[in-house]
Chain A
Amino acid sequence: MSMSQSESRAAERNRDLSLLVAVSLAVLGAALTWLYFIALSAGAAPRLADLAYERLPGTGVSNPVTAVLLNYRAYDTLMELAVLLAALLGIWSLGPAAPGFQRSGAVLAGMVSWVVPLLIVTGGYLLWVGGYAPGGAFQAGALLGAAGVIVRLAGDPRAGLPGEGAQRWLLVLGVLVFTLVGLGLMAFGAGFLTYPPKFAKWLILLIEMAATVAIGVALAAAYVGGRPPGPEAQPTAEDEDALTAAETPTPDPTPALRPQP
């Protein structure tokens, strides 16, 4: 009985605490909204918009968002590709991939064989129009990643990706090409990631193509959720972490958490 009493008291304390959090956050929200209003009316508009449009002719692209992403603030985009890669390498360091899903039936397989090529073609299209209309490397990469997800859901444990060796090259392609272009420009005296207007369009397209592949592969590989299966990454007793090898008395080939439909 004393147990339930202390439990109910703890629950009460929790309720009080979450009420306190809610009230203080409501105050925070109100204050932020008020200050946001003041900031909006501070007269900073049009902010960077006019300048960004004014400089657009020299960027090599006519879509202003692509101009920001791959020219004005290309360095941010480079680092963001590095963030995606870091997350994937972190996922790989946690262990090998779980086995895939059951092979799809005839209907799903038929649909997949239609949808996946369509996604890839659409991705290519988005990449190309990104120069002058909404689109670009991220949208295209996201479609490629989605194609990988569908392929894995349809039963391919590798999500349609190549073996580990090739996968590693594809993953680093984005940052590698980006950095090498930047350093190359620096070597020719233009400055890091400072494109000469004459070549800007083609350099941006080159970087975007590499980035699309890297993003697509990284997203699909993240969905696979571990080091790719294959002779290279076959876990040995020595490689396996203490977490799974040392603490499991009997080898269990299928971790309980994984989807096994």
Chain B
Amino acid sequence: MTDPLVLCIALPLLGAMLVTALPRWAVTLGIVAALSTASAAVALTATVWQHGTLHLMLGGWDAELAIALRADGIATALVLMANLVGLGISVYATGYFHDRIRVRSFWPLWLLLWAALNGLFLAGDLFNLYVMLELLGIAAAALGALTGNRDAVAANLRYLLVGLLGSISYLLGVALLYTAYGTLDLGLLAQGVAASPELYGVNAAAMTLMVAGLALKAALFPLHFWLPPAHANAPAPVSAALSALVVKAAFYLILRLWLDLFWPITDMAVAMLPAMLGAVAVIWGSWRALRAERLKLLAAYSTVAQIGYLFLFLPLLAATPPGPARDDLLAALLLMALTHGFAKAGFFLAAGLVQTNAGHDRIDDLGGTAQRLPATTFAIALSGSALIGLPPSGSFIGKWLLMQGAIATGQWWWVIVVTAGTLLASAYIFRVLSRAFGLEPTPLKFVTDARAEVPALTLALVSVALLGLASGPLWTLLGLGDAGGGA
């Protein structure tokens, strides 16, 4: 029953090894690995759906000694999103990379990144999470520098160093927790933290070190400075993975620590700081996106803003007692994260296509794109509407519930932030679309390059239609956590 849990991590790892060893077959083997990994993720979702939270002690040792893997509702939903987006990126990459050396560099690193993502979502051990964070950071920086131009190398060197700093800070937090509680298992530590209110200072210090380190990786304002150049200069499939998945993984880990481990000390007052920073990120990121001259830079700043929204949920969750209202908030948070994952991946893939087709991605010179690349423009429009939060996208429901929660808990000021962010997002998306739809004759055919356009379009469609119109199962998935929770 717990097999898919292992396979989600072992399959991309195995794929990465084969792709490295047999570079001539990189694309074929890579696609096979991508398909089988995505199937494992689907199998995992089905298993969690049927049996509730999965838990596995690797090596069969006691909970203290072994490394735990676990899949609850939140983890499973994110794994499913990441793997579907990963599959889309893989298909797109087969058409994007042409030169031999770059193909051979991309596939192994991409599959290692994928293994790290799944490993991170499914880990239940704090030190194992550190190793996953490092694998993720190193693979991401190496992939981001793949274009080889100077800006990309400089931006990704900075990204690597900042990421390392974040992980070391996280690791010191882990060291403090091991000193005080003598275990690394998330479940056991949670019990320890809850039972030791007298160690408030130690818990608070560990939480600060870990969350600050992760906020650096999640690009929370004002620690976002490394993100726009790193994401904007990477090759398009890599940008999609970095923006849609890698940043999200760091946020997921913050959420995990916040809700599972440190819940006794994360009250309203503590949650205010990250939420305020998130609010500034929403406004600042959207404003910079509006002022951006290049399409990929716009998308990168939009990521800064979208990550900001996720942090707004923290004080609302703190102020809402357990019950249906809190479940709604959690589902809304997840819905926004998932929608952004699909939408931003679709947006970056489409932007990459615009860039290769036009030779540049300057927004002001995009006139006529709708005529030359109708399907791509449609993908940009769809994912753009999900980024704004227009109905029926998933983020519309997410933002709606967010505002409802804000009013219900008397924190009306977040409503202003969400509204302002949404208006700015509409402005930057329509700025792109108004350029792209020039007054030129109607297009000859809708799809010009299926291998590249279909993944972008599919991801964008999922973000708008599927997540919005059929978001019900998400609540069920989250509710399943109660069945088999605990160690």
Binding site for B on A (CB under 8 A): 31-32, 34-36, 38-40, 42, 44-48, 51-52, 55, 71-76, 78-80, 82-83, 85-87, 89-90, 92-95, 168-169, 171-172, 175-176, 179-180, 182-183, 186, 190-195, 227, 235, 238-239, 241-243
Contacts and interface: CB of A to CB of B under 8 A. Distances in A.
Contact of B128 (A32, A79, A85, A94): A79
12 contacts: A39-B180, A42-B202, A44-B182, A55-B61, A75-B67, A82-B116, A86-B139, A90-B141, A93-B105, A94-B148, A168-B21, A171-B21
A227 B20 CA distance: 13
A175 B149 contact: no
B183 A47 contact: yes
Contact of B10 (A32, A171, A192, A243): A192
Given A42-B180, A93-B145, A186-B6, A35 B202 contact: yes
Contacts of A171: 20-21
Given A42-B196, A47-B183, A179-B14, A80 B131 contact: yes
B179 to A, nearest CB: 4
B220 interface: no
Interface in B109-164: 109, 112, 115-116, 119, 127-128, 131-132, 134-135, 138-139, 141-142, 145-150, 153
B199 A39 contact: yes
A155 B179 CA distance: 48
Between A82, A176, A179, A238, the greatest number of chain B beta carbons within 10 A of the residue's beta carbon is seen for A82
Contacts of B268: none
Contacts of B131: 76, 79-80, 83
A229 B150 CA distance: 23
B3 A186 contact: yes
B100 interface: yes
A194 B58 contact: yes
Chain A binding site: helix, strand, loop or mixed by DSSP? helix
Contact of A48 (B65, B116, B141, B150): B65
B93 to A, nearest CB: 14
Contact of A72 (B59, B99, B178, B202): B59
Interface in B189-246: 196, 199, 201-202, 205
Interface string B172-184: 1000101111110
A34 B204 CA distance: 13
A83 B115 CA distance: 11
B179 A175 contact: no
Contacts of B109: 86, 89-90, 93
Chain B binding site: helix, strand, loop or mixed by DSSP? helix
B108 A243 contact: no
B17 interface: yes
A46 B183 CA distance: 11
A243 B153 contact: yes
B282 interface: no
B60 interface: yes
Contacts of A195: 59
Given A83-B131, A85-B112, A241-B148, A71 B13 contact: no
Contacts of A93: 101-102, 105, 109, 142, 145-146
A242 to B, nearest CB: 5
Contacts of A76: 67, 127-128, 131
B16 interface: yes
Nearest to B115: A82
B13 A175 contact: yes
A72 B145 contact: no
B135 A83 contact: yes
A242 B146 CA distance: 11
Contacts of B102: 93
Contacts of A55: 61-62, 65
A241 B182 CA distance: 50
B14 A31 contact: no
Contacts of A46: 182
A90 B138 contact: yes
Nearest to A91: B142
Contacts of B392: none
B66 interface: yes
Given A46-B182, A48-B183, A73-B65, 6 more contacts: A51-B64, A72-B59, A89-B109, A168-B23, A176-B14, A193-B58
A32 B205 contact: yes
Nearest to B100: A239
Contacts of A72: 59, 61, 65-66
B201 A35 contact: yes
A113 to B, nearest CB: 31
Contacts of A47: 178, 182-183
A213 to B, nearest CB: 13
Contacts of B17: 172, 175-176, 179
Contacts of B116: 79, 82
A169 B225 CA distance: 39
Contacts of A75: 58-59, 67, 128
Between A38, A39, A80, A186, the greatest number of chain B beta carbons within 10 A of the residue's beta carbon is seen for A39
B216 to A, nearest CB: 16
Contacts of A238: 99
Nearest to B131: A79
A31 B65 CA distance: 30
Nearest to A233: B101
